Structure 1
Amino acid sequence: MSQITHFEIWNLNIGIYLLMLEIKQLCKSFQSGLGERRVILDNLDLTVESSERLAIVGPSGSGKSTLLNLIGALDKPDSGDILLENQSVLKQFDKELASYRNREIGFVFQFHHLLSQLTVKENILLPILAREQRVDAQLLQRADYLMERLGIENLHKQRPSQLSGGECQRTAVARALINSPKILLADEPTGALDEASSEQLTELLLQLNKEEEVSLIVVTHSMKLASRMDKIYRLTNGKLQQQ
């Protein structure tokens, strides 16, 4: 039997450490109005490394948002598995899934979904308030840091109706990162922004991807945004193909 060298063990350990997310033979279908099953995802496979950034592109209705919802445990697949750091997400109980969505995953959508009655800072702290009765000093400091990093520190007492679209979306990014998630899911994050705001948000996402060491998965119709990622996948006919 051949001996495994220290170098090979080191490489193996690095490989295990880098693999953040693994999707195995994921299937998802929906019932159509005519009673037929429409297959959206067909035995789909994907791996995402720690701090990796990738884009998923494809025509409308191809299942891009459905895939993000499955990764984020907002929906369940028909079959297949999703593993975070080699642990199955789908085998968790409801309480564990709620913790997974809150702590391990950050969501940024095309429309910011900020609560109109809350201030910028209160919106950012919302994921913490959803599970805790109070926010400790360390997390308050993190909220302040994220607001400063995203250029919205002077807006902390403003409400969403007083902000521009770009400012609302930057607030949504801060909210998604408040719990230091391992994966940031962004569904058309620049889709509702003008060109200047889109450029600014893209740069911030790329910088925060490195600084926070968070894996970034972006669904987008913008090839300009997609081209800034490490990898681009096209989703068609239920399959992902790397471009």
Structure 2
Amino acid sequence: MSETSESGPRAVARDKSTPSDVPLRTTKLVKTFRQGTISVTALDGVTLEVPQGQFTAIMGASGSGKSTLLHVMGGLTRPDAGDVFVEGEAISSLPDAKLTEFRRRRIGLVFQQFNLIPALTAIENVMLPLMAGGASASGSGRDQAVALLDRLGLGHRLSHRPDAMSGGEQQRVAIARALITDPAIVMADEPTGSLDSANGRAICELLKELNEKEGRTIVVVTHEPAVAAWAGRVVIMKDGAICTEWLAEGSQDPHELAGRYQDIVSGSPLANAT
């Protein structure tokens, strides 16, 4: 059950059963899209909880619903039914302006295409969430951005614009931008999809380091076993629903993970044998 945190016709719900220190929880999410005269169910009752400090990878083939799930969890798309709770806040019930503000402060988003502003420098791109909240381009916010970029190996690229940086560097800038507000959770949608294998591995190592050394809660959506192998938990989606998941004991072998994943999506009876 839930209670309201403010009065009025668009009161915001909080979930009593979801403590505020649980970064992410979804309940029975449903999302459908129209394709001409056909209704396509992208999410079919998805319930998921991500505990504090967990690195979760959500895998699935194209059309499985994994990216739609991330967009709904990240407050970019509203569900048709069900709820998303971030730190106990029912974000799917927030009015648009409050949702935008909450997302900027508490959810760090990273995308395959980086989504950097071409006319802005690296440090200006990183500071965008702070400036959107009213911070000035100088002062403690700038110092924080400089420290972040330096920690991510980009201290020498502060004044460079995206077109002067490699893909790997641009994705690091995007990750720094996602971290600048110290969000409750970082969500990444195919973060290595536009990178070569070396840069892709470097981004995975960075996410793993942020998870292990800083206790960051991270959710990555990917179709690549080599990316999912870095996570401590793997969730598999098929036809808009979660069909299985497991916790990793230590590092996972990408080839074994790929085989297990293929067995699951193909419906093999061996899929859950290990």
Unaligned regions of 5+ residues in structure 1, if any? 1-14
Report matched runs for 1:1-243 at 5 Å: 16=19, 19-33=22-36, 35-132=37-134, 134-135=136-137, 137-240=139-242, 241-243=244-246
Higher relative contact order (CA 8 A, sep 6+): 1
> Where does residue 269 of structure 2 map in the other structure?
none
Q: Deviation at 1:28?
A: 0.5
Displacement after TM superposition at 1:213 (Å): 3.0
Structure 1 residue 18: Cα displacement: 5.5
SS at match of 1:117: coil
Query: Distance between the aligned counterparts of 2:128 and 2:21, measured in 1?
Result: 30
- The structure whose residues are more often helix, as a share, is 1
TM-score w.r.t. the length of structure 1 is 0.89
Kindly indicate whether the alpha-carbon contact (under 8 Å) linking 2:63 and 2:239 is maintained by their aligned counterparts in 1.
no
Could you tell me how far 1:237 is from its partner in structure 2?
1.5
Which region of structure 1 is more displaced relative to structure 2, 131-140 or 112-121? 131-140
Give the share of equivalent positions with the same residue, in percent.
38
Question: Alignment RMSD, CA only?
Answer: 1.6
Aligned-pair CA distance for 1:195: 1.3
Cα distance in 1 for residues equivalent to 2:21 and 2:130? 27
Deviation at residue 133 of structure 1 after TM alignment? 5.2
**Structure 2 residue matching 1:140: 3-state secondary structure:** helix
Structure 1 Cα separation of the partners of residues 137 and 167 of structure 2: 27
* Equivalent residue, structure 1, for 2:3: none
Q: Distance in 2 between matches of 1:123 and 1:85?
A: 26
> CA contact under 8 A between 1:21 and 1:47: conserved in structure 2?
yes
**Conserved in 2, the CA contact under 8 Å of 1:180 and 1:212?**
no
TM-score (norm 2): 0.79
1:127 Cα deviation after fit: 1.2
Unaligned residue ranges in structure 2 (runs of 5+): 1-17, 247-274
Shift of 1:88: 1.2
Residue 221 of structure 1: how far off its partner (Å) = 1.6
Between the two proteins, the alignment pairs up a number of residues equal to 228
